[in-house]
Amino acid sequence: MSRIVLKFGGTSVGSVERINHVAKIVKSEVDLGNQIVVVLSAMAGETDRLINLTKELSSSFQDSEYDVVISSGEQVSAGALSGLLNSSGIKAQSRLGWQIPIVTSGDHKSARIEAIHSKELINLLELNEVIVIPGFQGINSEGRITTLGRGGSDTSAVAIAAAIDADFCDIYTDVDGVYTSDPNKVPTAKRLDKISYEEMLEMASLGAKVLQTRSVETAMNNDVVLRVLSSFSDIGEDKKGTLVCPEDSIADKKIVTGVAASTNDSKLTLTGIKDKPGVAAEILSVLADDGINVDMIVQNISDDRKTTDLTYTVPNDESTRAKELMEGLSSSLSYKELIVDNNIAKISIVGVGMRSNAGVASQMFRVLSQNNINIDVISTSEIKISVLINKGLTEKALNTLHDHFELGNTTN
Ligand code: ADP
Ligand code: ASP
Ligand code: MG
């Protein structure tokens, strides 16, 4: 007997047919004698529809009520599956985030899970009830509904797995595992049998949305055994999937494990700023005070060494606010021009083997230049290298790098 959290994403519960298939997967696990918690996303497209509804109602829709609206899609999925399981003779009950409760930080739209009251969940599991929990939602200390950021049901599932000390957290999705790159963009991408937490964390934060970044962080910090599986395979079929695990359980450490792309950033450039101490600090502190996360930063000195250009990236949906803040600095910084570019993509290569192999960056830059892909900004860390390029070249860059590092030949 194992205790397992099964999480199903939006496409996996996207229709009556898909929900029926999920019920069959749950039944097959119950039949094996396992204790099951199911965590569900909203039906595909539903969260987008709810977000658009709030936008249509008001351009300044209140954050706390926004969370009440956009968390509702998950409630529908949970009630729907639980009802279906009961009509098929499987004892189940749904528990919403606030009923458990799943306690989060106060911030709406991207709250962090702080505590999960697991005692009653465990009692129900011991009574062989399947518990169906809507992902993505929690309750803050003021008793208000919160949501965990896009893709947050992954994090709900992993946090619940940690809280109930589950043997596995299985993330069922529309692909059969984590691939060397997004299989919908790179036709030669290969499924990885295993990937380390560290690499998965980088891949996720650099655009591989198969797992939400915080879910990987939570799994790594709590030793949750995380598997990524397809909800589209037949019942009884051998589940291949990908195991996300500690680095030392992977014998063959590749230099490059995967290539990821993100088109969620905008680039802001301020040209001709007077080059005096404190300029970068002034710009970045104005952004930080407004809660805007800055990712990549480059500063260049001009020929005359009197002025400087500063480029940085922020999430797309914060670029308008960042632009307003920069306009507010125009007199103190007396810059020449403010350029906002939404037409960018960040392409990254990730691999733990980079720690001990020099020359990977130069290979990456050479391959891109040989393919006429211009690099705007570069940033590196121990196990990843990222570059900013023109958004229109995203798939070309992904495929070029994937081929160059021979990731299509991966077997592990
Ligand atoms: P769900 O609705 O199940 O949460 P998501 O759409 O959030 O599913 O994530 C699955 C998608 O992630 C896949 O359809 C795929 O296009 C994308 N993806 C991006 N990078 C990768 C990768 N390296 N491996 C697998 N899938 C990836
Ligand atoms: N439904 C939410 C979203 O679309 C959460 C999730 O699916 O993980 O972002
Ligand atoms: Mg997802």
| 333 CB-near residues (< 8 Å, 6+ apart) | 270, 273, 274, 279, 282, 283
Looking at the predicted structure, is the pLDDT value of residue 412 above 70? Answer: no
Q: In the prediction, which pLDDT does 236 show?
A: 84
The stretch 58-65 carries a mean pLDDT of: 96
CB 362 within 8 A of CB 404: no
The residue whose CA has the least distance to atom 8 of ligand 2 is 151
Which residue stretches of 248-387 are H helix? 279-289, 319-328, 330-333, 360-370
Question: Please, which pLDDT band fits residue 195 given cuts at 50, 70 and 90?
Answer: very high
The stretch 11-38 carries a mean pLDDT of: 98
In angstroms, the Cα distances linking 146 to 38, 58, 96 are: 20, 19, 12
To test the pocket of ligand 1, the residue of 182, 205, 394 to mutate (highest count of ligand atoms within 8 Å of its CB) is 182
pLDDT: which is higher, 307 or 252: 307
In percent, how much of the chain has pLDDT > 70?
99
Tell which atom from ligand 2 comes closest to the C-alpha of 149: 9
The residue whose CA has the least distance to atom 5 of ligand 2 is 151
Looking at the predicted structure, is the pLDDT value of residue 90 above 70? Answer: yes
CB 335 within 8 A of CB 382: no
Q: In the prediction, which pLDDT does 358 show?
A: 83
Question: Please, which pLDDT band fits residue 409 given cuts at 50, 70 and 90?
Answer: low
Q: In the prediction, which pLDDT does 309 show?
A: 92
> Separation of 44 CA from ligand 2 center, angstroms?
9
Using a 6 Å CB cutoff, which residues line ligand 2?
Answer: 9-10, 41-42, 47, 73, 135-136, 150-154
Looking at the predicted structure, is the pLDDT value of residue 140 above 50? Answer: yes
> Separation of 191 CA from ligand 3 center, angstroms?
17
Least confident of 47-56, 297-306, 359-368, 386-395: 297-306
> Separation of 138 CA from ligand 2 center, angstroms?
13
CB 136 within 8 A of CB 42: yes
Residue 192 CB–ligand 1 contact under 6 Å: no
- Kindly list the structural domains of the chain, giving each domain's residue range(s) and its CATH number in brackets, ordered by start: 3-249 (3.40.1160.10)
In the chain, the amino acid numbered 216 is V
Q: In the prediction, which pLDDT does 410 show?
A: 47
Q: What is the mean pLDDT of the chain?
A: 95
> Separation of 128 CA from ligand 2 center, angstroms?
28
| 42 CB-near residues (< 8 Å, 6+ apart) | 10, 13, 50, 72, 73, 74, 76, 77, 136
To test the pocket of ligand 2, the residue of 5, 12, 39, 47 to mutate (highest count of ligand atoms within 8 Å of its CB) is 47
| 2 CB-near residues (< 8 Å, 6+ apart) | 34, 35, 166, 167, 168
Tell which atom from ligand 2 comes closest to the C-alpha of 9: 7
CB 338 within 8 A of CB 268: yes
The stretch 215-236 carries a mean pLDDT of: 96
pLDDT: which is higher, 332 or 116: 116
To test the pocket of ligand 1, the residue of 8, 209, 227 to mutate (highest count of ligand atoms within 8 Å of its CB) is 209
Looking at the predicted structure, is the pLDDT value of residue 411 above 60? Answer: no
> Separation of 271 CA from ligand 1 center, angstroms?
38
Q: In the prediction, which pLDDT does 162 show?
A: 98
Looking at the predicted structure, is the pLDDT value of residue 87 above 60? Answer: yes
Looking at the predicted structure, is the pLDDT value of residue 100 above 50? Answer: yes
Least confident of 136-150, 213-227, 242-256: 242-256
- Kindly identify the ligand whose nearest atom is closest to the C-alpha of 156: 2
Long-range pairs for 247-250: beta carbons < 8 A, 24 or more residues apart: 247/196, 247/197, 247/198, 247/199, 247/352, 249/194, 250/194, 250/195, 250/196, 250/412
Can you state the angle between helices 360-370 and 394-404, rounded to 10 degrees? Answer: 130
* Residues measured by CB to lie within 5 Å of ligand 3, the ion: 9, 151
For 106, the token pair is 């106060």
Task: Give the C-alpha separation, 197 to 91, whole Å.
Answer: 35
Residue 175 CB–ligand 1 contact under 6 Å: yes
The residue whose CA has the least distance to atom 9 of ligand 2 is 150
> Separation of 125 CA from ligand 2 center, angstroms?
25
Tell which atom from ligand 2 comes closest to the C-alpha of 152: 8
pLDDT: which is higher, 261 or 277: 261
At 191 the three-state DSSP class reads: strand
CB 178 within 8 A of CB 196: no
Looking at the predicted structure, is the pLDDT value of residue 305 above 80? Answer: no
Task: Give the C-alpha separation, 403 to 359, whole Å.
Answer: 17
Least confident of 184-198, 211-225, 397-411: 397-411
List, for residues 285-302, the tens digit of each pLDDT value.
Answer: 999 999 999 999 998 877
Residue 208 CB–ligand 1 contact under 6 Å: yes
Question: Which residues partner with 271 through β-bridges?
Answer: 337
Question: Which residues partner with 77 through β-bridges?
Answer: none
pLDDT: which is higher, 353 or 100: 100
